[in-house]
Amino acid sequence: MADINTAILHLSEKGFLDMNIDPELDLFAEIEKLKKEKNAIILAHYYQEPDIQDVADFIGDSLGLAQKAEKTNADMIVFAGVHFMAETAKILNPGKKVLLPDLKAGCSLSDSAPPALFKAFKDKYPGHIVITYINCSAGMKALSDIICTSSNAQRIVEGLPADQRIIFAPDKNLGAYINKQTGRNMVLWNGACMVHEIFSLEKLTRLKIRHPKAKVIAHPECEEPILALADYIGSTTGLLNYTKKDPANEFIVVTETGILHQMQKLNPGKTFIPAPPNNSCACNDCPHMKLNTLEKLYLCLKYELPEITMDEELRLAAKKPIDKMLELSAQYGL
Ligand code: 13P
Ligand code: SF4
């Protein structure tokens, strides 16, 4: 069994503390104990595995998590999500320890926008302001004017003067959806989420025929032909709230499957059918989000590693557009 010193030695190559854990240990109880001892908070995205959601102090979508990270009094934040989310929490909390159970939990959408390439793209469009989806690196945030999430992107765009020219990055599907909703013509960066791009239109069409009473609910990171079949389009929290409010008893859920855990918990009498991807799998998991496990989270909280660190100049530059988003979200009651 690797001891802590060996695990630390291999941390940068592995991305997490690779140690065996006694299978008899009650991880749920241990995590609760450590949280109290260290005044730590666990923030989890809805795409995390059910066990992680069950030990989290707060579960949310990207906006909810950023808002919670900004307000927390905890000394330590364990971010059960992907790297850009933990990085955002660090940008907002330079004095707190921010931990991510697996440093390799990245994001294909964030990776689709390298800052150096984006800078060259941005320079081709003088007079445009840059609205960037929170799913991006700190370097991309530093090149942006306003950060947005899928919860507030449309409202933020609507709040800008009609003649304001805009670059929207990195998600072309969300950007195209907002262009359609608002009648704008934002310049779009050509990035996408690997999870939301692989839903199968054919399989979804067949599912709809087999479940004619089911409502189709979809995340705006999906491609346009999929969104065209949806009864409701919204962020992860938006989708969850819709399942509570809408009287339908059956929903076809076109987003990452992690959200089904809360949907089922909040609506025990309703049925949720995950929309299938364009491959042989029945469900659609984000391989990055699912790198975090309860075991890695326990070790991360116990040994306070891996930790997110950041250059202060970059942090300050990346904070400005995040602050703008939080200020606008509060103004719009989001
Ligand atoms: P939201 O959390 O804004 O719904 O975005 C989903 C997502 O893909 C997060 O990585
Ligand atoms: Fe990134 Fe998509 Fe995974 Fe979200 S679901 S973390 S956008 S790859």
With 60 as the cut, is the pLDDT of residue 1 above it? no
Pairing of strands 215-218, 250-254: parallel
- Nearest CA residue ID for atom 4, ligand 2: 107
Over residues 175-219, the pLDDT tens digits come to 999 999 999 999 999 999 999 999 999 999 999 999 999 999 999
Query: Which long-range CB contacts under 8 A does 74-77 form with residues at least 24 apart?
Result: 74/39, 74/40, 74/41, 75/38, 75/39, 75/40, 76/38, 76/39, 76/40, 76/41, 76/301, 76/304, 77/40, 77/41, 77/43
The contacts of residue 290 (CB under 8 Å, 6+ apart) are 47, 48, 49, 258
Q: Residue 64: is it exposed, middle or buried by C-beta count within 10 angstroms (0-12/13-18/19+)?
A: buried
CATH topology for 199-274? Rossmann fold (3.40.50)
- Nearest CA residue ID for atom 3, ligand 2: 286
**What value does the mean pLDDT of the chain take?**
96
Instruction: Give pLDDT, residue 220.
Output: 97
Contact 284 CB / ligand 1 (< 6 Å): no
Amino acid residing at 21: I
Q: Under DSSP, is residue 226 helix (H, G, I), strand (E, B) or coil? A: helix
pTM of the model: 0.96
Helices (H), the chain: 4-9, 11-14, 27-38, 50-55, 62-71, 83-92, 108-111, 115-123, 138-142, 153-158, 172-182, 201-210, 224-227, 236-245, 259-266, 294-303, 312-331
Contact 87 CB / ligand 1 (< 6 Å): no
Contact 86 CB / ligand 2 (< 6 Å): no
Ligand 1, closest atom to CA 193?
Answer: 8
Locate 28 and state its tokens. 């749920």
Q: Residue 273 CB: number of other CB atoms within 10 A?
A: 16
Residue with tokens 């975090």: 292
Contact 62 CB / ligand 1 (< 6 Å): yes
Tell me what the mean pLDDT of segment 112-141 comes to. 98
Q: Under DSSP, is residue 138 helix (H, G, I), strand (E, B) or coil? A: helix
Contact 109 CB / ligand 2 (< 6 Å): yes
Domain 109-193+315-332 sits in CATH at 3.40.50.10800
Contact 42 CB / ligand 2 (< 6 Å): no
| Gap from CA of 221 to ligand 1 centroid (Å) | 8
Contact 102 CB / ligand 2 (< 6 Å): no
Contact 193 CB / ligand 2 (< 6 Å): yes
Superfamily of domain 4-107+289-310: NadA-like (3.40.50.10800)
Over residues 24-55, the pLDDT tens digits come to 999 999 999 999 999 999 999 999 999 999 99
**Where are the domains positioned within the chain?**
4-107+289-310, 109-193+315-332, 199-274
With 60 as the cut, is the pLDDT of residue 239 above it? yes
Same topology, domains 109-193+315-332 and 199-274? Answer is: yes
Q: Residue 263: is it exposed, middle or buried by C-beta count within 10 angstroms (0-12/13-18/19+)?
A: buried
| Gap from CA of 77 to ligand 1 centroid (Å) | 19
- Nearest CA residue ID for atom 1, ligand 2: 107
